[in-house]
C-alpha cells in the first residue's frame, strides 16, 4: 500500500553489482504491477510491468518477480550502473484497474 509519510529507504550498491529492490503490497485484488524509476526533479518513468498471472518477467538488465502468496514484488537490476541511481517505486492497480497506487519507494545509490 502507500507509505507516503515515510522517508525513503536507501539501497547503496557498488557499480557492476546486482541490485534488488523490494516492495510489499496490500491489496490482494491487484492484478497488474509496475516498476517506475524517478530521477531527481522529474516524473516517474516506466521500467517494467507484470500481470498477476505471471511470477517473473525479464527486460533489458531488469527482472521483476511477483509472489502473490506473500504479496511481494521485487525488481532486480543486473550490473548496476551509475545511471541507475534514482528512486524506484512499485505501483499496483486497484478499483477495476482505474487507480494506480504507489508503494513508498526506494532510493538506489550506485557507488563508482
Partner 1 sequence: SQTIHQWPATLVQPVGSPLSLECTVEGTSNPNLYWYRQAAGRGLQLLFYSVGIGQISSEVPQNLSASRPQDRQFILSSKKLLLSDSGFYLCAWSQGLARGTEAFFGQGTRLTVV
18 by DSSP, 3-state: which?
A: coil
Of 57, 61, 78, 102, the one binding partner 1 (CB under 8 A) is 102
Of 13, 22, 24, 49, the one binding partner 1 (CB under 8 A) is 49
Q: Which grid coordinates belong to 39?
A: 530521477
**Residues 6 or more apart whose Cβ sits within 8 Å of residue 95:** none
6 binds partner 1 (CB under 8 A): yes
User: Considering only 55-63, 64-72, 75-83, 100-108, which stretch makes contact with partner 1 by CB under 8 A?
Assistant: 100-108
The CB density around residue 112, as the number of other CB atoms within 10 Å, is: 7
80 binds partner 1 (CB under 8 A): no
Strand 32-38 with 10-14, pairing: unpaired
Which residues of this protein are in contact with partner 1, per CB under 8 A? Answer: 2-8, 32, 34, 36, 41-46, 49, 51, 89, 91, 93, 96-105
Amino acid at each position: 500500500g502507500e507509505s507516503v509519510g515515510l522517508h525513503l529507504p536507501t539501497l547503496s550498491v557498488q557499480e557492476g553489482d546486482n541490485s534488488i529492490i523490494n516492495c510489499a503490497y496490500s491489496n490482494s485484488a491487484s492484478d497488474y504491477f509496475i516498476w517506475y524509476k524517478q530521477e531527481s526533479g522529474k516524473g516517474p518513468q516506466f521500467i517494467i510491468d507484470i500481470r498477476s498471472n505471471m511470477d517473473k518477467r525479464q527486460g533489458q538488465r531488469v527482472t521483476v518477480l511477483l509472489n502473490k502468496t506473500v504479496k511481494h514484488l521485487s525488481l532486480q537490476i543486473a550490473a548496476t550502473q551509475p545511471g541507475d541511481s534514482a528512486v524506484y517505486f512499485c505501483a499496483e492497480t486497484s478499483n477495476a484497474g482505474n487507480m494506480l497506487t504507489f508503494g513508498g519507494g526506494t532510493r538506489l545509490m550506485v557507488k563508482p
